Structure 1
Amino acid sequence: MTLAYDPAEHGIIAVDTGFHRPVFDAAYLLVENGRAAFIDCGTQHSIPALLAALDAQGLTPAEVDWLILTHVHLDHAGGAGALMRCLPNARLAVHPRGAPHMIDPSRLVAGATAVYGEEEMARSYGEIVPVPAERVVVADDGHIVDVAGRPLLCVDTPGHARHHLCVWDQRSRGWFTGDTFGLSYREFDSPRGPFAVPTSSPVQFEPEPLKASIRTLLARDPVSMFLTHYGRVGDVQRMGADLIEQIDAMVRMARQAHAADGDRHAHLTAALADYFAARAHAHGSPLSDAQARAVLAVDVELNAQGLEVWLDRAT
């Protein structure tokens, strides 16, 4: 599934990478004056969809100048090395903390394999291969990637992960947000607009830096946010305020679960599920309570893990 947003004006195409389920994980193709850049890429299994989107724009792999990664989690970057093999003239731009993992992904592979097992790694992510060091560009805070004269500004945005950056496109007045601006699944859209929840990572979640990063994005008064999970959203000031409110609530729930008797993880996952389901209902989501909980179940678990690692590090 490929969705285009004002392609004649802004040249931004969202590509459904097919990871896990439809309309869950997006990569973006940005086209400018006959040249192109991908922003995030999904897994190795996503490559046919990415190349098909390129072909639909009348472009060849040789006309792609950049692959920009918001961060190196495998649903965003697992296919980077394999995709770069298909793009003979492209360079890869990545956060300084992420660059070593793209050049030598062995630690990424080992960590993910320990969690998922070899069979699931192959099924979900495919082969994770290195990117030659000479093709990797370290994108420090303020780094500008030039796509045929169109500047894309890379900004350090920790909180979800310390190796996270977001990309500002002045042309569209939009941010490519990776996971910094939360998750907004289209099933939750209502007459009030899109609904979003924050997303932690199991090992590097930091609530105060994440809130600061969201405020950094909002400070440019963007028109759009281009989320990996999933697609373009507007009404960004309202959504940003909602995300910050939810992060504070998540921290309160984590501390309450930590202080409670019994299984901390069970307390926390139950509280998060209740909270997000109630917010979705208040937003006017067309999903039932059970449906909302099912869609968010994996994210509740990941958020609980991230909050618990943060709690243990802070105490």
Structure 2
Amino acid sequence: MQGLKGFGHGIYAVDSAYTGPDVAAIHLIEQDGRAALVDTGNNDALVHVEQALAETGLSPEAVDYVLLTHIHLDHAGGAGAFMAAFPNAKLVVHSRGARHMAEPSKLFAGVSAVYGAERAKELYGELIPVAPERIIEATEGLELNLAGRVIRVLDTPGHARHHVCYFDTVSRSFFTGDTFGLSYRALDVNGRPSIFPTTTPVQFEPEAMHASIARMEAEQPAAMYLTHYAQVTDVPRLAADLHRLIDAHVAIAERHANAGAERKALIEADVWELVGEEAQRQGWTLPEADWRKLLALDVELNAQGLDVWLGARAKD
């Protein structure tokens, strides 16, 4: 089946196969025969999750929660399909995102504005509404009970204002969505991961992102489980790299703040230069052509996010 990997404490990563292997993980948390899923990928990911449940001896009826970190569609596009497949599940999502899960047309329109309508349809297909009575709003400090296992919600803006992270009290680990950045296994060097922030449109807020990362650091977590991609440890080093790279992205944006129509292209070129510097700093062994292909969409979206952030800041 599509990559299922266990990390102990009943935690597994399921490869959603979003745009390619080892790009987007759906995390499965199992406790005493009950299950929670963190993020959903798109509709096409459902078959991989159903296979993972079968492989771990769980039925669709065993899923108690589908936990969304935020409503960007590489994380939440499959939510309606998942809720249809898992009849006992509740969907947990930030209050800012709940209405979009119940009525997703505006959400899809926003995604189409970023990707283009044709590409958005290709990536995500039809978004299926979720019945409002099956939605739980993920508020700061909310504690979810998974067969006695407590999972706590932290409100973690910075990447998006509708972003939460989930702290698992058994493994003392966070499920971080995009707040703790991207860390692709293809870039690991002798098991040592690299990390890169996500400044994607439309709600990048650097100060909030720094604060959210610091809040998670304060818990001294044993590991972070990233949607992009799966488990990373050595959290203090990676957090320091994230703080440094967030500041570097902001510096790039500010350098081109008054560049007019060419601003986004100039930002993107400088983000690529930053990636190249990071490749040397971290000693990536993946050939440059391969890491450029792997990171192409992320760099484009980071540049878009910085451009939008500059525009929003100018209006304040």
Task: Using the TM superposition, give the Cα deviation of residue 210 of structure 1 relative to its aligned residue in structure 2, in angstroms.
Answer: 0.4
**CA RMSD, Structure 1 to Structure 2 (Å):** 1.5
The residue that corresponds to 1:311 in the other structure is 310
- C-alpha displacement of 1:60: 0.6
Give TM-score, length-normalised by structure 1: 0.96
Alpha-carbon distance, 1:257 to partner: 1.4
Aligned residues: 313
**2:152 and 2:166 in contact (8 A); partners too:** yes
Number of the residue aligned with 1:137: 136
Give per-residue Cα distances to partners, 1:34-76, cap 9 Å, x unaligned: 1101111111110000111011111111111110100000000
2:68, 2:91 within 8 Å by CA — same for their partners in 1? yes
Deviation track 1:222-255 (CA, whole Å, cap 9, x = no partner) reads 1110000011011111000100000011111111
Residue identity in the other structure for 2:4 = L
Number of the residue aligned with 2:18: 19
Percent identity over the alignment is: 48
Paired with 1:118 and 1:284, the residues of 2 have a C-alpha distance of 38
- Alignment of 1:254 with 2:253, yes or no, is yes
- Give the partner amino acid of 1:245: R
Partner of 2:125: 126
Between stretches 260-269 and 121-130, larger displacement belongs to: 260-269
What residue ranges of structure 2 are gaps of 5+ in the alignment?
A: none
- Hey, what does 2:156 align to over in structure 1? 157
Residue 119 of structure 2 aligns to a residue whose secondary structure is helix
- TM-score, scaled relative to structure 2: 0.95
Note if contact 1:151-1:169 (Cα within 8 Å) is conserved in structure 2: yes
Q: CA deviation at 1:4?
A: 2.7
Q: Which has the higher mean CA deviation after the structures are superposed, 153-162 or 107-116?
A: 107-116
Instruction: Report which stretch shifted further, 188-197 or 154-163.
Output: 188-197
How far has the Cα of 1:260 moved from its partner? 5.0
Distance 1:130 1:173, change over 3 A: same
What is the rounded CA distance, in whole Å, between the counterparts of 1:23 and 1:64 in structure 2? 24
- Taking the aligned partners of 2:151 and 2:3, their CA distance within structure 1 comes to 22
Task: Give the AA of the match of 1:6.
Answer: F
Counterpart mapping for 1:84-103 below 5 A? 84-103=83-102
What amino acid is aligned across from residue 7 of structure 2 in structure 1?
D
The amino acid of 2:214's aligned partner reads: R
Q: Where in structure 2 are the equivalents of 1:163-312 lying within 5 Å?
A: 163-191=162-190, 193-260=192-259, 263-312=262-311
Q: Distance in 2 between matches of 1:47 and 1:191?
A: 32
Rounded Cα–Cα distance in structure 2 between residues aligned with 1:115 and 1:308: 13
Give the Cα–Cα distance (whole angstroms) in 2 for the partners of residues 114 and 307 of structure 1.
Answer: 16
Structure 1 unaligned spans of 5+? none
Change (3 A) 1:249 1:190: same
Structure 1 residues 261 and 126: CA distance shift in structure 2, 3 A: closer
Q: Is the 8 A contact 2:11 2:27 kept in 1?
A: yes
Aligned partners of 1:6, 1:185: CA distance in 2, in Å? 17
Q: State the secondary structure of the residue aligned to 1:49.
A: helix
Once the two structures are TM-superposed, the CA of residue 150 in structure 1 deviates from its matched residue by 0.3
Cα distance in 2 for residues equivalent to 1:261 and 1:79? 37
- Alignment partners' CA distance in 2, 1:20 and 1:6: 24
Larger CA deviation: 100-109 vs 282-291 = 282-291
Q: CA deviation at 1:191?
A: 3.3
Q: Partner amino acid for 2:153?
A: C
State the Cα distance separating 1:262 from its structure 2 match: 7.2
- Point out the more displaced range, 102-111 or 31-40: 102-111
